[in-house]
Structure 1
Amino acid sequence: MPYEPTTTTPHPHRWAALAVLLLAEAMNLLDATVMTVAAPVIRADLGGSDAAIQWFSAAYTLPFAVFLITGGRLGDIAGRRRVFRAGMAAFTLASPACALAPSTGALIAVRAVQGAAAALIIPQTIGMIRALFDGRELARAMGSVGPVMGLAAVTGPALGGVLTHADLFGSTWRAVFLVNVPLGAAVLLASPLLREDRAARRPRLDLTGTVLAVLGTGLVVHPLIQGGALGWPGWCRALPVVGCALLACFALHQRWRGRRGRSPLVEPSLFRGIGFPAALMASVLFFAAVNGLMLVIAVELQVGLHSDVLTAGFTLLPWSVAMALSSWAAGAWLVPRYGARVMSVGLLALLAGTVAAAVVYGTGRPGSYPWPLLPALAVAGLGQGLYAVPFFTTALHHVRPHETGSAAGLLNAVQQLGGTLGVALLGSVFFHTAASGAHGSAALTGARNAFCVAAVLVLATAAATAFIGPRQQRSSTPAGLRPGVAGRTDRLDGQG
C-alpha cells in the first residue's frame, strides 16, 4: 500500500536519527560482503564440504529475501520503529552467536537468524526516513543513502580480509561477526531518536503466502548448492521442480487474496504488463552474476592460489571502488542527462570485464597471482554501477502510486534471491571443476567456467532489460524513488 506518514511535524533530532538508520543499512551490507572473503577461512577452521562456503552466504541472503516483504508488513502493522528495534536486537545478539559457533551447521543456522532479522530492519529504514523528512530535506536525506552504501560496499571485502588476517586476540574469522556487536549496540541505544510510524490503513499478514515463498525458494536453492556434493541423486533433481510448483502456488494465492480484497504480499496488478516482470527477471539475473562472481574470486585466490585472506579482500577493491565511483557519476550526471540508455553502457562494460576476467583465468599459470585480473574487475565494477543506478528508476517508471510499495519491496526481495542463486550456481560451477583435477590448474579452469556462465547471465540480463522500458527516461521520477539521485546501487526499500 502507499506510504502514509502518521505526522508531518518536523522531528528535532531528525539528522541524528538519519545517522542511526544509515548505520543500520551499512551494517547489513557489511555483514554480507565481509563473509564473501572470510568464508574459505571459516570452512578451513570449522570443517565441512565446499558447499559450506556457499551456505555461509546463502543462509543469510535466502531468509532475507523471503521475509523482506513480510518484514515491511510487520512495520506497517506494529510500528516501524518497534519492528526495527526488534530486528536490530535479534541481529546484534545473533552476531556473537555466529562468532562462537562451534560447527559449520551451527554457524549456518545462526546466519539464517541474522538474515531473518535483517528482513525486519531494512524495510523500515526508508519508511522512517520519509516520516522524518519532507520536501527538500527528504531529497537530501535520501541522497545520503547512496554514498554511505557505496562506502560500505568498498570497505566490506577489505575489512573482512583485514579483520580475519589480523587475528585479534586469536579471534581469526570470528572478529568479522564481533564487529557487529558495538555497532548494533550503538544503534539500539540511539533508537529512541527515531520517530514511531506505521501505515494509516494496516494490512493483514499473509502467513500462507510467506510459507509458500519460503518453501518454494528453499527447495530451488538447496539442490543447487548441495547437488554436486551429493552426486545429484534423483530426489535432489526433483526438489527444484517441487519448489517451482510451490512458487506457482504462491502466485495463484496472491491473485486469490487480491480478488478477495485481502492484503496480498505482492500486488497481482504488477504482472498485467510485461515491463515489471521483465524487471524482476533482469534483477535476478544481474545480481546472480555480480554476487556469484565475487564469491568465486575470493575462493579461487584462497583455495586455488593459496593466497591469504588479506590478498583476497584487497583483490576485490578495484571492483568495489569502480562500482562506487560509477554509481556516483551515474546518479549525479549520466542518468539525468541520458536516462535509461546508461543501462546499456553498464551491461556492455560488465560483459567486457567478465569476458576479460575469463580470459585471464583461462591463460593464467597455477601459483601465479593474476595481476591482469585487477583492471578486468575494475571494468566489471564500472558496469555494475552504471547499470544498477538507472535500473531501479526504470523498473518503477510505469508502476502506479498504490503499487509502488509492493513493487519496491518485491524488487528488493528478488535482488537478494538473485544473489543467493548466483552464489549457488556460480559457486557450484567453480567447485565442480576445481575438484576434478590438479588443484591449482583446476581452480583456474573452474573460475574461468564460472565467469563464462556469468557472461551468459549478463547477456540474459540485457535481453530482459530490453522489455522494461522506457528507453529514454529523464529525471522526472520523484526523488524519493530515484536511486540515481542517491547513487544507490544495492536496493530501493519500500513498504509492502
Structure 2
Amino acid sequence: MSSGSRLTTTATSTSLMPAWLGLYVLLLAGFVTIFDLFVVNVAIPSMQTSLDASFAQIGYIVAGYELAFGVLLITGGRLGDLLGRRRLFVVGMAGFTVASGLCGLAPTAGFLIAARVLQGLAAALLFPQVYASIRVNFSGEDSRRAFGLLGMTLGLAAIAGQVLGGWLVHANLFGLGWRTIFLVNVPVGLFAMVAAKFIPESRASQPPVLDWRGVGLVSSALALLLVPLIEGPGHGWPAWTLWCLVAAMVLFAVFYRHEERQRRAGHQPLVDMRLLAQRRFALGAVLVLLIYSTSSSFFLCFALLMQTGLGLDPFMAGSIFAPCSVGFVVASLAAPRLIARWGTPAIAMGALVYASALGLLIAHVSLADAELMPVRLIAVLILVGIGQGFVMTPLLNLVLGFVEETQAGMASGVISTLQQIGAALGVAVVGILFATALDARADGLPLAGPYAAAFVAGMLYNLVAAALSFILLMLLARMPSFTR
C-alpha cells in the first residue's frame, strides 16, 4: 500500500464533486479485482473439463492470481506514490483488461495460468491506488463514508463472484461458457480507463525509492515455496520439489538480511523488519496468514464438491453458497459495535464460531457422504460466513492498530500482502489433502462419495487453522498494550 510519509494531493479542483465521481470509478475497480478473486471458483469444474486441466493446474489458476497480486501489492503502492496514483490506476486497469481478455481466450490450461498471473500483477498495480486515492482525497466524515462504501462494494463483489459468476457460466452466453467471467471485465475496464479522468491525481510529497532487489528476492522465495506444494503430490514428491523448498527457506533468510542492510544504510526497505520484532504485530501477522489461508481454499473445495461431486450447475452451486457471503457481510457490519465494547476477545469468539461452524460442516458432509443434500448445508454455511465476518475484517483493523502512525503505510502493505499469500498457501496445502483423499476414494461413479471425502480431508486444515487462530487471539488479548 502507500507509504507512511505525509501525503499531498495535486488535484486542481477545490470542489469535492470530481472526488465523488472519481470514487465511483475507484469502487468499480475494487469490485472487479475482488470479483475475480471469487468468481474463478465457481468456474473451476467447467475449466477443468474444457481445458483438460490437472488438479495441480487448477491450483495454479486460483493461486497464481493471488500470489502475483500479493507479491506486488507493496510495490504497486510505492509506484503510485512515486508516479501518481491516477496514472498507476490507468496503467493497472489497462493491464488488468488485457489480461482478462487473454484469460477469456485461453486455448490451454498453461496459457490460462500465465494470463492469471499477469492479471494478478496488474491488480497489484491497480488495487493499492483505490485505498490511497480515497485516503488522500477525502477527510473526516467524507472519508468514513467513502471507506464504508468501499467495504460494502468489496462484500458485494464476493457475493457476486458466487452468484453472478455462476449464472454467467451456466447461461453459456454466445457459447462461451466460463470464458464470460473474464471477458466481462473488458468493457468494464475500458469504461474505467476513460472515466479515470474524474479521479484527482495525487502522489507522495517525498516519493520513496523502490527496493527492486527485495521484490525479486521475496517473489522468488514465494514461487519456490508454492510451486512444489502444488506440483509435488501429483508427481510423487520428486527430489526437485524438496530442493525448491530448501531454496525458498534460504531466499527468505537472504531477503531478511537484505532488508536489514537497507534499513541500517538509511535506505527505505521493502519491509521494515523491526515491525516483526514487535510481538503483537508479529502475532497478528501470523493470524492474518492463518485466517486468510482458509478463504480461497474453502471456496475451491466447495465448488468442486457441489459441481463435480454432486453434479449441480454453476448457478445453483453459487446460489447454495451465497448465504455464506450474506452472513459474512452482515457480521462484518455488526462486528465494530461488539468489538468496541469487548475488544479482542470479541474477535476471538468470532474465531471460535468460525471453527465450530467448520466442524459442523465437516461432520455433516462426512456423515452424509454420497447421500449429501446441498440444501441442508445452507444453515451451517450462514454460520461459517458469520464466523468469517467477525474475524477477517476486524482482525486487519486490530493488527494495524498495533503500530505507530509513521509505520502505518508499510504495515498495511505487509498485512495486505499476507492476505493474498495466505490465500495462495491455503490453496496449495488444502489441495494436497483434497487430491490425496480423492485418489484414495477413486472408486468410480458416482462421484459424490469420493468428493465428499476429499472435501472433509481438505477442510480439516481449515478447522485446525481456525481453532489455532482462536487460541492465538486469546493469547493476544492477554498481552499488555505496551508489549512489543
SS of corresponding position for 2:103: helix
Specify the alignment match of 1:59 in structure 2.
64
Task: Tell me the distance in 2 between the aligned counterparts of 1:111 and 1:52.
Answer: 12
Relative to 1, partners in 2 of residues 1:395 and 1:283: Cα closer, same or farther, differing over 3 Å? same
Q: Which amino acid aligns with 1:415?
A: Q
**Structure 1 position 272 matched with structure 2 position 277:** yes
Match of 2:4 among 2, 5, 19: 2
Asked if the contact 1:6/1:131 (under 8 Å) is kept, the reply is yes
Deviations 1:37-76 (A, max 9, x none): 1011111101121112211111100111111111111111
Match of 2:152 among 147, 152, 161: 147
Match of 1:383 among 367, 381, 387: 387
Asked if the contact 1:394/1:470 (under 8 Å) is kept, the reply is no
Deviations 1:64-116 (A, max 9, x none): 11111111111111111111110000001111111111000000001000000
1:428 deviates by: 2.1
Deviations 1:233-285 (A, max 9, x none): 12212322211221121112111101111111112221222111111111111
Query: Where do 1:172-321 residues align within 5 Å?
Result: 172-321=177-326
Relative to 1, partners in 2 of residues 1:471 and 1:320: Cα closer, same or farther, differing over 3 Å? farther
SS of corresponding position for 1:232: coil
SS of corresponding position for 2:385: helix
SS of corresponding position for 1:13: helix
SS of corresponding position for 2:373: coil
1:420 deviates by: 0.4
Match of 1:74 among 75, 79, 104: 79
Asked if the contact 2:309/2:451 (under 8 Å) is kept, the reply is yes
Asked if the contact 2:59/2:428 (under 8 Å) is kept, the reply is yes
Task: Tell me the distance in 2 between the aligned counterparts of 1:326 and 1:282.
Answer: 19
**Structure 1 position 451 matched with structure 2 position 459:** yes
Specify the alignment match of 2:376 in structure 1.
372
Match of 1:169 among 174, 181, 186: 174
SS of corresponding position for 2:370: coil
Task: Tell me the distance in 1 between the aligned counterparts of 2:63 and 2:332.
Answer: 26
Relative to 1, partners in 2 of residues 1:41 and 1:123: Cα closer, same or farther, differing over 3 Å? same
Task: Tell me the distance in 1 between the aligned counterparts of 2:259 and 2:435.
Answer: 38
Q: TM-score under structure 1 normalisation? A: 0.92
Asked if the contact 2:64/2:116 (under 8 Å) is kept, the reply is yes
Specify the alignment match of 2:468 in structure 1.
460
SS of corresponding position for 2:48: helix
Q: Which amino acid aligns with 1:5?
A: L
Task: Tell me the distance in 1 between the aligned counterparts of 2:9 and 2:300.
Answer: 44
Task: Tell me the distance in 2 between the aligned counterparts of 1:322 and 1:266.
Answer: 35
1:472 deviates by: 10
Task: Tell me the distance in 1 between the aligned counterparts of 2:184 and 2:477.
Answer: 42
Task: Tell me the distance in 1 between the aligned counterparts of 2:117 and 2:178.
Answer: 18
- Where does structure 1 lack aligned partners over 5 or more consecutive residues? 474-496
Identity of aligned residues (%): 35
Q: Which amino acid aligns with 1:280?
A: A
Q: TM-score under structure 2 normalisation? A: 0.94
SS of corresponding position for 1:395: helix
Specify the alignment match of 1:477 in structure 2.
none
1:5 deviates by: 2.8
Match of 1:412 among 413, 416, 422: 416
Specify the alignment match of 2:21 in structure 1.
16
Number of residue pairs the alignment of both structures matches: 472
Task: Tell me the distance in 1 between the aligned counterparts of 2:65 and 2:312.
Answer: 26
1:131 deviates by: 2.0
Task: Tell me the distance in 2 between the aligned counterparts of 1:94 and 1:342.
Answer: 41
Query: Where do 1:12-161 residues align within 5 Å?
Result: 12-161=17-166
Specify the alignment match of 2:450 in structure 1.
442
Q: Which amino acid aligns with 1:369?
A: M
1:467 deviates by: 4.7
Match of 1:422 among 421, 426, 433: 426
Task: Tell me the distance in 1 between the aligned counterparts of 2:160 and 2:177.
Answer: 18
Deviations 1:436-484 (A, max 9, x none): 22243222111111122211111222233345457799xxxxxxxxxxx
Q: Which amino acid aligns with 1:293?
A: F
Deviations 1:392-429 (A, max 9, x none): 22102220111100000100000000100111111221
Task: Tell me the distance in 1 between the aligned counterparts of 2:423 and 2:207.
Answer: 31
Asked if the contact 1:338/1:472 (under 8 Å) is kept, the reply is no
1:323 deviates by: 0.3
Relative to 1, partners in 2 of residues 1:351 and 1:188: Cα closer, same or farther, differing over 3 Å? same
Asked if the contact 2:352/2:467 (under 8 Å) is kept, the reply is no
CA RMSD in angstroms, aligned pairs only: 1.7
- Where does structure 2 lack aligned partners over 5 or more consecutive residues? none
SS of corresponding position for 1:47: coil
Asked if the contact 1:80/1:198 (under 8 Å) is kept, the reply is yes
Specify the alignment match of 2:338 in structure 1.
334
Task: Tell me the distance in 1 between the aligned counterparts of 2:71 and 2:476.
Answer: 24
Asked if the contact 2:320/2:378 (under 8 Å) is kept, the reply is yes
Q: Which amino acid aligns with 2:303?
A: A
Q: Which amino acid aligns with 1:285?
A: L
Specify the alignment match of 1:392 in structure 2.
396
Specify the alignment match of 2:354 in structure 1.
350
Query: Which piece of structure 1 moves more, 265-274 or 222-231?
Result: 265-274
Asked if the contact 2:103/2:182 (under 8 Å) is kept, the reply is yes
Task: Tell me the distance in 2 between the aligned counterparts of 1:472 and 1:178.
Answer: 51
Task: Tell me the distance in 2 between the aligned counterparts of 1:134 and 1:290.
Answer: 32
1:303 deviates by: 2.1
Asked if the contact 1:35/1:57 (under 8 Å) is kept, the reply is yes
Asked if the contact 1:37/1:157 (under 8 Å) is kept, the reply is yes
Asked if the contact 2:72/2:121 (under 8 Å) is kept, the reply is yes
1:390 deviates by: 2.1
Deviations 1:190-233 (A, max 9, x none): 10111111111111111110011111011111111111111111
